[in-house]
Amino acid sequence: MNESPGIRLITTDEGSHTLFRSDIGDVYHSRHGAIQESLLVFIENGFRYMNRIQEINLFEVGFGTGLNALLTCMESNKRKVRTYYDTIELYPLNPDLIAKLNYPELLNDTEKFFQKIHQGSWEEETEITPWFILRKIKEDLTKYLPEKQYNLIYFDAFSPNVQPELWMPEIFRKMAGCLTPEGTLVTYSAKSSVRKALRAAGLKTEKLPGPPGKREMTRALKI
């Protein structure tokens, strides 16, 4: 079975899988636990934080393994919150590698949401459930111009150390520009340079407790 070049599967401390990219020396998720990191950063402090809204336009930077999309799909389906989920990824993963990931098993994905998410066509909307509509975009974020306004942004690019071009003030100005009033951006990074760039884009930042192995994370609000 062929795997994506330069990428290998590893098991995190919690038993969930993540991927390691040898060309940049970085992992897709925390080595302490992929699922628990995504649940805290993006679901608990992002999606659930928006509980006053019954229809959410959401933009994800870094589709990667599709874990954030799966967790959001499951949450939107459970809470009956209609979610339009746009996600951008320049380098989609090899399907053979995706098939090895153990998220469906660990999350009891009996509805096969994970499979449907990855089988959905790129560049067009796919209804995964009546509550979760997915659009996968194969594009470079530095060149992409968002086409609509979003209530929530998951900023899940590789770390600023290995992908600094995606954490620059001009990128966050682009993100702020497509956020609705009172819109929210969440990211696992709490670096001072990241918070400074977010504030330079006109967003109000707050530090929150991070997942295991990481002291803090960041939530930014458009006010």
**What domains does the chain contain, in order, with CATH numbers?**
33-222 (3.40.50.150)
Alpha-carbon distance 168 to 165, whole Å? 6
| C-alpha angle 31-37-156 in degrees, rounded to nearest 5 | 95
Alpha-carbon distance 126 to 41, whole Å? 25
pLDDT in tens, 47-59: 999 999 999 999 9
**47 Rama sector, left if φ>0, alpha if ψ -120 to 50, beta otherwise:** alpha
What DSSP designation does 15 have?
S
Contact 204, 175 (CB under 8 A): no
pLDDT in tens, 125-180: 999 999 999 999 999 999 999 989 999 999 999 999 999 999 999 999 999 999 99
pLDDT at 5: 58
- The interaxial angle of helices 192-200 and 169-177, nearest 10 deg, is 50
**Total-model pTM:** 0.96
pLDDT at 2: 37
Which residue, among 130, 124, 102, 125, has the nearest Cα to 114 in the 3D structure? Answer: 102
pLDDT in tens, 168-191: 999 999 999 999 999 999 999 999
Is 80 exceeded by the pLDDT of residue 223?
yes
pLDDT at 145: 95
- Tokens linked to 123: 């560049």
CA dihedral over 217, 18, 184, 202, signed as positive or negative? positive
Tell me which H or E stretch contains 118: helix 113-119
